[in-house]
Structures are given as C-alpha cells and as structure tokens.
Structure 1
Amino acid sequence: MKVYTKTGDKGTTALIGGTRVAKNNVRLEAYGGVDELNSHLGMIRSYPIDEESVKQLIEIQNVLFVVGANLATDTAVSNMQKKLPCTDEDVAFLERAIDKMDEELPPLQYFVLPGGRPEVSACHIARTVCRRVERRIIDMSEEIEVEDIIVRYVNRLSDYLFVLGRKLAKDCGLEEVKWVPRN
C-alpha cells in the first residue's frame, strides 16, 4: 500500500465511511488538531522522563487515536464510533493521574510561567494545543453532533498536561517561576 493516494489532490479528503469533504472543513480542523496534539505527546515521551509518565502518555496517545477516529467518522454511513468509543473510564484515568501528581506537588497559589526545561516547555505547548483542539471540537459540535465525553476528555487532558509540566519541573529540581503582574 502506498502512502500517497492522489485522491486529495483537489482539496478534499474522505471521512471514515467514505464521504468526501473539503480539507478545510471544521471536522478536519478538529481531528487534525487531535493528530497534532498526539505528535506533541510523542515529543514529550522523547525526553528523559519517568517511566510512569511515559506509560500514561502512551495510554493517552491511544485514546487520542480513538478521539480522532470518532471525529473523522460520518455516522450516517459508518458505526466506527460505536466500535471505538471514548469512555468515562478514559476521563477517570486522567483524573486519577492528575490527583496522584497533585499529591506530590505544592499547592498552586499563582500562575506559572511556562518553561525551564525542554520537557516542561513541551508539556505547556501541548497544553495550549489541547485547548485549541477543544475549541475546534466545540466549533465542530455546532455543526455536527459530537459526543459530550470527547469534549470532557480533551478538557481534562489539558489539565493533565499542566500538572504533568509541574511534576516534570519538580522532578528536574526546577523552581516554578510565578507570574508577577506589573503594577
């Protein structure tokens, strides 16, 4: 099987189910953003981070493939969403991971400036991409039905990425730089 099909040369692509849509369709903005986010998570895994975080990120990347497939499915002609559901357990997985990391971190009493080390910065970049993806999914939901669980999952994922950034900073011995507003 060749990587190139030439079927998209005129600016359209096929959804799961075969329906063709323009490549700038709101649906593609949503699931294309999920793909971009997944790549950022792969980048975070490339840094020397703890094994538990690597395992969590791999689990999340697998769920993001499910989310992308759900967003890419034309439900009028395919039941892929039923075969690959995003579930409450997927959200609970993120919440448990957040809670566990939070237990080891000092209470957050201020805004934190992103940065300090590449792996910490990568978490913050992924967090902002995740927030954009959430907005694109909400845009999509105004035109096409999107399951609420997908919005909840992506929302919780941005929280996870923020806390992961804080955890990785702590693991590296970095002191968080708090935002101090100008007076």
Structure 2
Amino acid sequence: MTDKTRINRVITRTGDKGDTGLADGSRVSKNHPRIVALGELDELNGTLGVLRTHRLDEDMDTLLAALQQRLFDIGGELAIPGRVVIDDHDLVEVESQADTLNAELPPLKEFVLPGGHPAAAWCHHCRTVARRVERQLVALRNDDVDAINPVSLALVNRLSDLLFVMARLINQRNEHPETLWAPKG
C-alpha cells in the first residue's frame, strides 16, 4: 500500500487497540477526556445537522450553519492541544444572536418543557447535548486547566442558551403554544 493510498483510506486500523491520534501526532486512549469531549462535540454538531433538515426560517438556518463551523473550530482546538481559534468576537456574536432572537419573544415567566413544534423539540435536544459537551469540557479543564480554551467553554455555555431561545422562537413562529411546567402540589 502506498502512502497516498493510506492517506485516502477511511479505515486506517491505527485505533484497533483502543488509542487514537491527535492532530499534533500524539496518541491517547479513546476514553481520554479530550477524546470524549471531541466525541460529544461531534454529536452536538450532528444534532445541529439534523435540526437543519427541518424547515427553518432562513435566519435560523444561517445561524445554525455558522454555529456548526464554530463547533468544528472548537474540535480543532481539542485535536491540537494548545491551539486557540475561538476568540471573544465569536462569544459576543453568539450572545448578540441570542439577544436578537430573544427580543422577539414574550418574557419567560414559567419553566418551559421541551417539545412543541418538531424543529423546536430538536432544538431542545441540541440544547441538552450542548450542556453535556459543556460538562465534558469542564471535566477536561479540571484535569488540566490549560487543556481547553476558556472562551470555547464559554461559547458552548452560551450556545445552549441560544438553542433554548431558538426553540421558543420556533414554537412562536409556527404558532405552536409552549408547554409550561405544572409543578405537582
């Protein structure tokens, strides 16, 4: 097998014994917190991709496409320890988008249950996956404070907030009432 053939192959067999390579050439166990974080991030990006298969307003689809790009940037940071791509501008952009979309909504007075319009329900699912990514990034940071870009961690935190706002707005734009929590007792 030539080097060119090996580069183009999807199946490399290099991880058959339970380790995997980072982009810097180092190898770590497939259950290393960095690899778990990469997997969680990949799942989040995949759920955003499924969300985008729903009929969404153009502003939301464009926003989700940009968010998928930023998630790949965070993955690049994780794949090359010490690399920093996400910056304060990215964080401000996510906050700004959340504020802009939230301005279209009535004030929240009760807890909202996930669900509603199918796209809103998927948005809620994406939000919960984003929270899991955030927890895994915190676990990685707790192992090594320099292991992640703190702005990337903050961006994932803001992303889950943005996805909550988007879910509410999708329900509103589709005239689907939100289901509010009815506490027992």
Q: Which residues of structure 1 form unaligned runs of 5+? A: 76-80
Q: TM-score, normalised by structure 2?
A: 0.92
1:86 maps to 2:93: no
Q: Is the 8 A contact 1:19 1:74 kept in 2?
A: no
Task: Tell me what 2:113 maps to.
Answer: 113
Q: Provide the aligned length of Structure 1 versus Structure 2.
A: 176
1:60 maps to 2:62: no
1:1-39 alpha-carbon deviations (Å, 9 max, x no partner)? 111111011111001101111101111111111110001
Q: Is the 8 A contact 1:123 1:161 kept in 2?
A: yes
Superposition pairs of residues 97-176 of structure 1, within 5 angstroms: 97-144=97-144, 145=146, 146-176=148-178
Where 1:64 maps in the other structure, the secondary structure is helix
Query: Matched residues in 1 for 2:160 and 2:152: separation?
Result: 13
How far does residue 117 in structure 1 lie from its aligned partner after superposition? 2.1
How far does residue 74 in structure 1 lie from its aligned partner after superposition? 3.1
1:44 maps to 2:56: no
Residue type of the alignment partner of 1:90? D
Query: Matched residues in 2 for 1:2 and 1:125: separation?
Result: 33
Task: Tell me what 1:78 maps to.
Answer: none
Residue type of the alignment partner of 1:66? D
Once the two structures are overlaid, the 10-residue window that deviates more, 144-153 or 103-112, is 144-153
Superposition pairs of residues 2-17 of structure 1, within 5 angstroms: 2-17=9-24
Q: Is the 8 A contact 1:40 1:126 kept in 2?
A: yes
Q: TM-score, normalised by structure 1?
A: 0.93
Residue type of the alignment partner of 1:132? R
Q: Which residues of structure 2 form unaligned runs of 5+? A: 1-7
How far does residue 95 in structure 1 lie from its aligned partner after superposition? 1.0
Runs of 4+ in 1 over 6 A off after TM superposition: none
Query: Matched residues in 2 for 1:74 and 1:148: separation?
Result: 13
Q: Is the 8 A contact 1:41 1:61 kept in 2?
A: yes
Query: Matched residues in 2 for 1:2 and 1:88: separation?
Result: 37
